[in-house]
Structure 1
Amino acid sequence: MKYRITAALAATFVSGSLFAATATPRIVGGDDADTDWLSLVALIDVPAKQEAASAWATYPVFQAQYCGGTLLSQDWVLTAAHCVQFNGVNTNAADIELLIGSQTLDVATNSPLLHSAASVIVHPGYNQLTNANDIALIQLDEPVTIGSNVQPGVLATPGTDEKTEELSNYNDILSALGWGVVTYDDPERQQPVYSLDLQEVALDYVPNAFCQNSYNLNGNSESILDSMLCANEPSPDGNPDGDPFGEDSCQGDSGGPLFVTNTALNDSPQVGVTSFGYACGDADLPGVYTRVSEYLDWIEQQTSIADLALRNLAIAENPDSFQGFQTIDFQIPVENAGNKGATNFALTIEHPKAFSLSSSEAGLSCAASSNGLTECNYDGTAILGGSTKSLAFTATDANSQSGATVQIQATVELDRSRDYHRLNNTGTITLQLGQPELTITAEPVCLSSRNNAVEMRFEASVANLDDAIDSVGTRVTGSLPEALTLVNKNLSSCTEDNGDYLCQLGLLEANSEKALTVAIQAAAETMAMVTIAVENDNGTQVGSSLETTVALDFSREDLEACPSVTPPSTLAPRSSGGGGGSLPLGLLSLLMMFGLYRRKA
């Protein structure tokens, strides 16, 4: 509903108060706002409301509305500095009410949707002459209830600005909202027409350099700072009635939001706070907005009061997957994408119903898993700004699944809706359930006479045939008959005890294999059978070939001569050609000379 306000009533907007009355934009050429916008706040001048009510005005709240704002949490509203400060003096918090949860100004003067202000915080660098740092916060006297009609907004980050700047098309990517002037009753713009209902208008993004040039060409002295951004509609199409005054924010929309419009409207990041402009709807002079991303650190600092601190937590991206069988250890990476330390948050984890989760993480307490949901609270050491803390969990699978990939969804939340960029609050952790399929083979590769004895070397290859599951803590074990002697017994990767040996291969990734070169001495003509086995920490699939036997005949004449063994620190990598060539780096002689790592095709 559009409403034509008389000059006498209009005077009540500024009489007897410290509210700014200059260069305050409102929405021109827009339409009734979509009802999905749930974070809009109307600033109400309490003395003006009381005066209008005393004069039996039809719409006292409407007549006392003078600026807009955005709900950031249950306790904080973001607005423009010039809405709450004039000539260096802050507006008294008692003179401000905030209408939250209504897109119409047609509400009673005692409506429960009107909330009192507890304090006003203006950026210390605000300059009324240059409009620099035109940003402010209002703390609510009591927390507002979040519900179907009230949701906090999302603040843009530097990354949001970068993506916006990189778009190939800036046409109508922004939305400005407010309760301000919608049109004029005269060509001279002396008779403004206001709306009782929230309006929105789609605008083009205007890069700062282009915006500055537009102001320079029109003889204006304003400096478009990096802490500002611009928007306009160079080719207005007007509303269905053919509005001739363009499309723009206009008087009264100050402090309201400028969003980069997303499909889910209330998830649209707020990139700007409506700040200043000249003739509303002027296609040549863009409207100017305070760039929100430049003030995130200031917002975090100013709101760091007890449990009211605004922060930006996220579930960090993790390309890795966690593996296990029956019990699976995994981590949830909680990232503090803001600047100030953050703690006291909730973590909600959705997982298969057969899973139960536990954690011994300091500062983390979790309720028993129920029906595929585990809820935790963290009140431990604060996660510093710009850092990530990985919280350790163990999942127990009652179904002992194998060969399955499971997605676990984790969501981090701050109480009182204190996360100002909730778009990254949820992330996915991948668990691969099962055990690897291992095989081991061995064959002699060379034979030489050394130091009045015969030395034979054989290669043992361990392969992981599984497509997804790694083998953890892989090792080769066995024992040698008394007639055989291991060559060189001083490598840390292997140990020997009375002829029993153990060599560590470590992680053997899926679809890969490692090879060990074993050097043994014996008397000529000796013949023996050696058994070699493979073990690991995470078990193996049924059907794995975990043991093999190699026949050692020290009288063979068909094997190549073994190359000389050089010290481990100077060994060169072995070629892939088999028995000849140089030996692998770190050649073992206790049992292993180096695990040549090969990825299978």
Structure 2
Amino acid sequence: MRKSPYYIVERTVTVEHVQLVGRAGDVSTKIFNGDNANIEDCPWQVSVQVKDEGKFIHDCGGSIIDNRWILTAAHCFRKTLPLSDFRVGAGNSNLDELEFRSVKKFYPHENYNQQLEISDIMLIELRRPFRFGSTINKISMDTNVDQDYTGESCKVSGWGNINGTGGITDTKLLKSTELTVISNESCSKQWEDPNLKTDNTKLCAQDLGRDVCNGDSGGALACGNADDSALKVVGIVSYGVAVCNGTMPDVYVRVSAFQDWIKKTKKDNYAYR
């Protein structure tokens, strides 16, 4: 049985004398200790599904940024599988009641490298557009790379693992919670990764007892700010440790750092029809 993506890094970090060890490729993520979500509160949320043993299963989250375009994580891409083995669902909190679209093409970032943990961003082009309404709609993207979200409470949602102990407990109902953005400096210290301190393509969020987990990969970290209360996708769920309980911060791709790439990819490949 294939597991759904949430990239768990192959690294040992010490947190209050407890060592948390993740395994590269042990993928899958869900909201731990979240509440049942109303899809009208996050109508951009999609389920990227893959065929496993003849049956489609939830694999990753993602965000609708246009009626034919989905924003997600590059590590959700499985290049060995045909396009017919994928579909994208939206429009309901229940996985069994989604409206589906087939995939036309995947566009993982050309610089994506899982080992180096860089450029974990991907666009998915759909064969047919979604029709927007109260349960299916796009989310705006953050475009200000200089915006400091440290201390902001931001929304995450997904169908990922709800077991925070490292096991897998699936749910068919969408979950959501709020996590606090922390500084890259604090994130760098906890991850014992000096590169995180100055990496403006990533940001981190953490709240003890709440977390994203396996299966939430690719979903949005949606934030507002003092100038605009409307939620925008600021981050993309990228990687964390195996134990999803908020003890360690999760790392997100910073969407504003990739705006030029997103615009160019859509412009070069989108047929207006």
Question: What letter corresponds to residue 166 of structure 2 in structure 1?
Answer: R
- Could you tell me how far apart the structure 2 residues matched to 1:148 and 1:266 are? 19
- Displacement of 1:117 after TM fit? 0.4
> Normalized against structure 2, the TM-score is what?
0.82
SS at match of 1:210: helix
- Could you tell me how far apart the structure 2 residues matched to 1:207 and 1:307 are? 36
Q: 1:44 to 1:73 in 2, by over 3 A?
A: same
Question: What letter corresponds to residue 40 of structure 1 in structure 2?
Answer: Q
Q: Which residue, out of 157, 162, 185, partners 2:147?
A: 162
Q: 1:25 to 1:223 in 2, by over 3 A?
A: farther
SS at match of 1:162: coil
- Displacement of 1:307 after TM fit? 5.8
- Does the CA contact (< 8 Å) of 2:223 and 2:233 recur in 1? yes
Instruction: Report what 2:251 is aligned to.
Output: 288
Alignment of 1:322-333 (within 5 A): none
Instruction: Report what 2:166 is aligned to.
Output: 189
- Displacement of 1:201 after TM fit? 1.2
Instruction: Report what 1:40 is aligned to.
Output: 45
- Displacement of 1:157 after TM fit? 1.4
Question: What letter corresponds to residue 158 of structure 2 in structure 1?
Answer: G
- Could you tell me how far apart the structure 1 residues matched to 2:90 and 2:229 are? 14
- Could you tell me how far apart the structure 1 residues matched to 2:229 and 2:88 are? 19
Structure 2: runs of 5 or more not aligned = 5-23
Q: 1:230 to 1:23 in 2, by over 3 A?
A: farther
Instruction: Report what 1:67 is aligned to.
Output: 60
- Does the CA contact (< 8 Å) of 1:67 and 1:254 recur in 2? yes
Q: Which residue, out of 158, 179, 200, partners 2:176?
A: 200
Per-residue CA shift, 1:27-48, capped at 9, x if unaligned?
Answer: 1111111332111010110x22
- Does the CA contact (< 8 Å) of 2:156 and 2:176 recur in 1? yes
SS at match of 1:183: coil
- Could you tell me how far apart the structure 1 residues matched to 2:3 and 2:28 are? 12
Instruction: Report what 1:121 is aligned to.
Output: 107
Alignment of 1:460-479 (within 5 A): none
Per-residue CA shift, 1:120-143, capped at 9, x if unaligned?
Answer: 001010001122000000000111
Question: What letter corresponds to residue 215 of structure 2 in structure 1?
Answer: G
- Does the CA contact (< 8 Å) of 1:233 and 1:281 recur in 2? no
- Could you tell me how far apart the structure 2 residues matched to 1:222 and 1:255 are? 24
- Displacement of 1:146 after TM fit? 1.3
Instruction: Report what 2:17 is aligned to.
Output: none
Question: Does 1:30 pair with 2:34?
Answer: yes
Instruction: Report what 1:96 is aligned to.
Output: 86
Question: Does 1:253 pair with 2:216?
Answer: yes
Alignment of 1:40-59 (within 5 A): 40-45=45-50, 47-48=51-52, 51-52=54-55
- Could you tell me how far apart the structure 1 residues matched to 2:214 and 2:155 are? 16
- Could you tell me how far apart the structure 1 residues matched to 2:246 and 2:89 are? 32
Question: What letter corresponds to residue 75 of structure 2 in structure 1?
Answer: H
- Does the CA contact (< 8 Å) of 2:157 and 2:175 recur in 1? yes
- Could you tell me how far apart the structure 2 residues matched to 1:268 and 1:277 are? 23
- Displacement of 1:278 after TM fit? 0.2
Per-residue CA shift, 1:188-207, capped at 9, x if unaligned?
Answer: 633x2221111111111111
Question: What letter corresponds to residue 144 of structure 2 in structure 1?
Answer: P
Instruction: Report what 1:515 is aligned to.
Output: none
- Could you tell me how far apart the structure 2 residues matched to 1:251 and 1:292 are? 21
Per-residue CA shift, 1:549-572, capped at 9, x if unaligned?
Answer: xxxxxxxxxxxxxxxxxxxxxxxx
- Does the CA contact (< 8 Å) of 1:206 and 1:230 recur in 2? yes
Per-residue CA shift, 1:419-456, capped at 9, x if unaligned?
Answer: xxxxxxxxxxxxxxxxxxxxxxxxxxxxxxxxxxxxxx
- Displacement of 1:26 after TM fit? 2.2
- Does the CA contact (< 8 Å) of 2:163 and 2:244 recur in 1? no
- Does the CA contact (< 8 Å) of 1:38 and 1:266 recur in 2? no
Percent identity (aligned): 28
Q: 1:206 to 1:74 in 2, by over 3 A?
A: same
Q: 1:90 to 1:74 in 2, by over 3 A?
A: farther
Instruction: Report what 2:159 is aligned to.
Output: 179
Instruction: Report what 1:377 is aligned to.
Output: none
SS at match of 1:132: coil
Per-residue CA shift, 1:513-559, capped at 9, x if unaligned?
Answer: xxxxxxxxxxxxxxxxxxxxxxxxxxxxxxxxxxxxxxxxxxxxxxx
Question: Does 1:149 pair with 2:142?
Answer: no
- Could you tell me how far apart the structure 1 residues matched to 2:213 and 2:45 are? 16
SS at match of 1:181: coil
Q: 1:281 to 1:119 in 2, by over 3 A?
A: same
- Displacement of 1:259 after TM fit? 0.7
Alignment of 1:105-116 (within 5 A): 105-107=95-97, 113-116=99-102
Question: Does 1:229 pair with 2:197?
Answer: no
Instruction: Report what 1:297 is aligned to.
Output: 260
> Larger relative CO (CA 8 A, sep 6+): 1 or 2?
2
Q: 1:163 to 1:262 in 2, by over 3 A?
A: closer
SS at match of 1:119: strand
Instruction: Report what 2:8 is aligned to.
Output: none
- Could you tell me how far apart the structure 2 residues matched to 1:132 and 1:307 are? 25
Structure 1: runs of 5 or more not aligned = 1-10, 15-19, 53-60, 235-245, 310-415, 417-601
Q: 1:258 to 1:201 in 2, by over 3 A?
A: same
The alignment yields a C-alpha RMSD, in angstroms, of 2.7
- Could you tell me how far apart the structure 1 residues matched to 2:256 and 2:140 are? 11
SS at match of 1:297: helix
- Could you tell me how far apart the structure 2 residues matched to 1:291 and 1:233 are? 19
- Could you tell me how far apart the structure 2 residues matched to 1:189 and 1:302 are? 36
- Does the CA contact (< 8 Å) of 2:166 and 2:242 recur in 1? no
- Does the CA contact (< 8 Å) of 1:104 and 1:196 recur in 2? yes
- Does the CA contact (< 8 Å) of 1:180 and 1:251 recur in 2? yes
Q: 1:197 to 1:229 in 2, by over 3 A?
A: same
- Does the CA contact (< 8 Å) of 1:24 and 1:251 recur in 2? yes
- Does the CA contact (< 8 Å) of 1:37 and 1:266 recur in 2? no
- Could you tell me how far apart the structure 1 residues matched to 2:81 and 2:230 are? 31
Question: Does 1:79 pair with 2:72?
Answer: yes
- Displacement of 1:297 after TM fit? 0.2
- Could you tell me how far apart the structure 2 residues matched to 1:280 and 1:105 are? 24
- Could you tell me how far apart the structure 2 residues matched to 1:226 and 1:306 are? 27
